[in-house]
Every structure is written in structure tokens, then in C-alpha cells.
Structure 1
């Protein structure tokens, strides 16, 4: 668990040769074509457009998660000439990517036109001459990427907003070349647990019932199953918790807006009563405030790694093929004491 001192809200950006493409993932009538609808993807696109305008300085939380995700490339002996970066903390990934994975070509994709433009402008201000960068407006739920065309797919804090997470991961696997690597970080179910508690108590007290104000998130136990279900080999999952300190609950909400992480549930109650909002802030402060007056917020991040199948990869031995039992190993170890 890590405690981060929040560098206020927001983040900056970077990238190189600027080609720019647009892909529409909605039907002609403006309706989303995803079968399972938990999140309002159009609203999420609007929220990320707004976040692009609020991101004007580095964000310590997003940078920390992006850096920890990219560190996993250092554990790989192979290189990844062509990489695809999906949504989420695009700018942090682009800025911190230098030297990781020997990447030569980078495709940066987001459903938000303004977010892509933000990253494009940042790249022009601080270009990376070693990486040829292409910018694409597209949806993680409908990847406009040719099959078996990239060596690496990176998604940092973006996929937890997809309506069909296994489907999005399957599409990522299909986009990978054989022995390609999938790297992702998503927010886990313990994220914003303090805010969930404060919201629930405030709504029960002021409205006599509750409505969802914080989006549902995947649990740690589900992450490995998601990788296996998506068809990845050698799946790996680990978890980090980050505690970010804020001056007040209102500053937390401002930070969530700047990250594009505010509620996008289809079944949300669009009206938040002023009394309920004030009660939430007061309860949050009363229940969780530290001695220095700050209030903590928990961000649980689940890191996932998986590979597209290739004959050179290690494979599990056939069940029952072991020649030594655990009982024999235990006896051997016990005899050395």
C-alpha cells in the first residue's frame, strides 16, 4: 500500500510523427451497439473530453500507476517494435514510455476526440524522435485495429469502463501478433471505498434509500479468470493500493473529474440533491479525516499481463505426469533441518 501526496489535479502529455484518424463506433441512430449496457459510453466520452481540458499538470497517481505498469516491460527479454495504447492514462504512458520495450511505432487510441488532440498537441511540444506515433479516435469495445498487427497492447486505467470487458480483452488478443504481450491496469473493487460508505450513509439519512453513485468495478479474484477467458496464456495478476490524501471530499471529486473517472452508469440517478452532497462531504470528513485534517481515498489497481499463444512459450505439464510427490519433497526438506 502506498500513500501519495496529491500534486493537485491534472496531468500533461507527449509523442511523434502525427497522423490522425477517426473511427465512429456508434450506430447511425446514435445508439451504442454493445449488447451488454452497464455504462453510458457516450457520457464517458463526454467526461473524457472534459478531462482533456482539465489535464494541465502532472498527476502523481496516474504517473505512478503508468510507471508501475511499464516497469513490467523490463522483465521481458524480447522487444516490442509496434505498440497500441488504449484509452485511460494515455498521456502518462506516452511521456513515461521512453526506453521501455524498444518500441518503434506507437498507436495511441481513445474514444475521446479531445483527449487524442490533447496527447497530439503534447507530442508536438515534446516529440520523441525515436518513436513514430499515430493518433486514432476509436472505442476499446470495437477496436479498429487489424488482426495480428501489433506486438504490445497497453491499457492503463481505461478498460474498467467497457461494457464488455472480456470482449474488449479478446479483441486486444486478436490485435496482437503471436507471442505478443497484453499489459493492463484497471481499478479494482476496493477503489473509493470511503466515498461509497459516505454516499450510502448520506443517502439513507437524507433520502431514505440509495442509488448507485460510484461505478461497479472488477474484483481481484476475477482478474485471472478474465485473462483466461480472453484466451491469453501465461496470465499474471497483482494488486497495489494507493492512498491519496485530499484537503476535502470536494477536492477528491474535482480530481475524479480531471481523470475522467466520474460515474457513467446507465442506471444512475442524474439528480444529486444539494443536501445529500453536503451530507456526503460532512460524513466523509467525520468518518475518515486524519489528524492533519486531510481525507484519504483508496485506489486499488489491478495489474494484468497475458501473452498471445506461441509455440515457443512454456506449457504446463500434462496432469499426472509428475515424478516426485509433494510428500517426498516435504520429507527431504524435513531431513535437512
Structure 2
């Protein structure tokens, strides 16, 4: 293995950028996940009684966060939110150097974009460097359980028709690794939370229309073999037969991973050194310690 080789190329950056551009006029028809992410980020800021004079929005579809912030209790404590103008930087975080001076931002938000990063720890490290000491990062990405139903039926339908199947749904990060990813990127006090959302559709084709409107369709690197109408129809049959509900609608699972981390600062709470505790655990819990003797 070549030690100088970079991270694996999972996603095609130009393809992802083009898909995001095409989705921008349509996102208003399918912005429910982005709005949920924005509202969660705003809720986090409402719980923190401090000011954020310089704020940067790196979200896939910027503007939704600022709109949610405007009507919140935290709105008066956050300065003007500047949206990243470079679509490629929003489409594929970390693909190029983040064009922001080091230690220049009090708050950085990246909603519904980081799951398209070929090098997620590297993208997070860039964000951490752009934060002032004790600056806050709030991020959201799709997690491993996202579109599990769609993944299963597309694979089965293509296997039936072709004897082999190409990946059609992105490999998403495990939400339970979120805090570890932040820590690896140099953030202090990392927190990750997983929010599972089930959305019900009339059929598979309605789901795909929403994914296109979001800019969340397949951009895996390499040649993409188009699905035939027959394979898509068979996948729709499998979806309805396997997951369909009593009213004929089908569920689609989305797993939203919310991240929060701070740029390190000497004022932040730090864990005590190992062996420095002044009280035994049994005393702290108010229980009688067992000696192991009969």
C-alpha cells in the first residue's frame, strides 16, 4: 500500500456538486430533514447562554439554519450568519481546503452535508481549525440506518435481473461513532446524538422524487449502470410487499446524527487524571462496598 495515498475516493465530487445544484430550486418541496436538523441546532444554541459574533454556515442548503435562528430565543445572540458561497465546498466537505482563516469563527454549522465527505475526519479537522478557541461546531449527517429498506429492495431486484448488484445507496457512518470522530478531529467535549425518523410514502417512486429534491441521490465514484424500468418496478413491488403498511403506504427510515464539539480552550472542563479521585465510588453512590468474604 502506498503510504502517500490519500483517503479512499468513495464519492464523485463533480457528480455530487451537480446533483446539489440541480436540487436547489426543488429543496422547498422536500426540506423536512434539513428543517429538523436546523431546528435541533437552534435548540442547542438556545440552551447555551453566550454570544456568537461570527457564525459560518457550511450546510448543503444554507439559509434554513438562519431562518430557524431568526425566530428563536438565540437569534439575538448570534451575529450575521455567513453562508459558504462555494457550492463544491458545501457539496463535498473536505474535498478541498476550507477557504476560511484559522481561528476566525465563533460558531460553525454544517447540516446534512458531512455524509458526502470522502475524508470525514479530515473535513472535521478543517472545521475545528477555523474555529476560535472555545468556538462551537454543530453538525448533522445521515447515519448508517438511513434508507435501509430502499437499499435492501434495490439490491434484491438487481440481483434477480442481472445476477449481480451495484451499490445504489451511500455507505453512511455509524451514528454511535460520532463523538469518536469529533475527538479524532481534535474537538473537545464531543457529543453525538442519533435521531431516527420514519417517513411514509405512497410508493418507492415518491421517495426517490424527494431524494432528488434534496440532492441526496447516488453519487458513488466510478461508472454507474442505470437501473432499467423493469428493475425499478420490481424494487417497488418488493418494497410494497415487504414493508407496506395497512393503508398501502411504505416507510422510509432516516437516521440523523447530530454532532456538537468545541475547539479546545484552557478554560474548558477537563477529566481528572487517573488515580486522582478523592472519594471511593461506593461512597459516592451511597452503597456498602462488598469485600468478597463470606
- Note whether the superposition's TM-score is higher than 0.5: yes
- Cα-to-partner distance string for 1:150-209 (whole Å, 9 max, x where unaligned): 100101111110111111100100100010001001100000011011112112222212
Deviation at 1:87, TM superposition (A): 2.8
Shift of 1:137: 7.7
Corresponding residue of 2:50: 78
Q: 2:67 aligns with which of 95, 100, 107?
A: 95
Residue 258 (1) aligns with residue 203 (2): no
- SS where residue 237 of structure 2 aligns? helix
1:277 aligns with 2:232: yes
User: Cα gap change, 1:42/1:255 in structure 2, threshold over 3 Å: closer, same or farther?
Assistant: same
Number of corresponding residues:
280
Could you tell me whether the CA contact under 8 Å between 2:93 and 2:116 is conserved in 1? no
Please name the residue that 1:189 is paired with.
144
Whether the 8 Å contact between 1:237 and 1:302 is mirrored in structure 2 is yes
- Report if the CA contact (8 A) 1:212-1:268 is conserved: no
- Paired residue secondary structure (1:90): coil
Give the superposition deviation at 1:112: 2.8
Q: What is residue 217 of structure 1 aligned with on the other side? A: 172
Cα distance in 1 for residues equivalent to 2:288 and 2:199 = 46
Shift of 1:334: 6.3
Q: In structure 1, how many angstroms separate the alpha carbons of the residues matched to 2:6 and 2:19?
A: 19
Matches within 5 A, 1:142-181: 142-181=97-136
Tell me, yes or no, if the aligned pair for 1:213 and 1:268 is still in contact at 8 Å. no
**Distance in 1, Cα, partners of 2:142 & 2:61:** 12
The answer to which of 143-152 and 52-61 deviates more is: 52-61
Alignment correspondent of 2:292? none
For residue 292 of structure 1, the aligned residue among 241, 247, 272 is 247
**Partners of 1:138 and 1:144 within 8 A in 2:** no
RMSD, aligned α-carbons? 2.2
Alpha-carbon distance between aligned partners in 1 of 2:6 and 2:47, rounded to the nearest angstrom? 36
TM-score by length of 1: 0.78
**Structure 2 unaligned blocks of 5 or more:** 290-294
**In 2, are the aligned partners of 1:211 and 1:268 still within 8 Å (CA)?**
no
- Counterpart CA distance in 2 for 1:217 and 1:90 is 22
Any conservation in 1 of the 2:16–2:91 contact (CA below 8 Å)?
no
SS in structure 1 at match of 2:24: helix
Shift of 1:138: 8.6
The answer (yes or no) to whether the contact 2:23–2:214 under 8 Å persists in 1 is yes
Residue 241 of structure 1 corresponds to: 196
* 1: CA distance, partners of 2:28 / 2:175: 32
Paired with 2:139 and 2:46, the residues of 1 have a C-alpha distance of: 15
State the match for 2:81 in structure 1: 106
1:64 equivalent in alignment to 2:39:
no
Structure 1 residues 163 and 58, CA, compared in 2 at 3 Å: closer, same or farther?
Answer: closer
Structure 1: tracts of 5 or more residues without a match? 1-32, 114-135
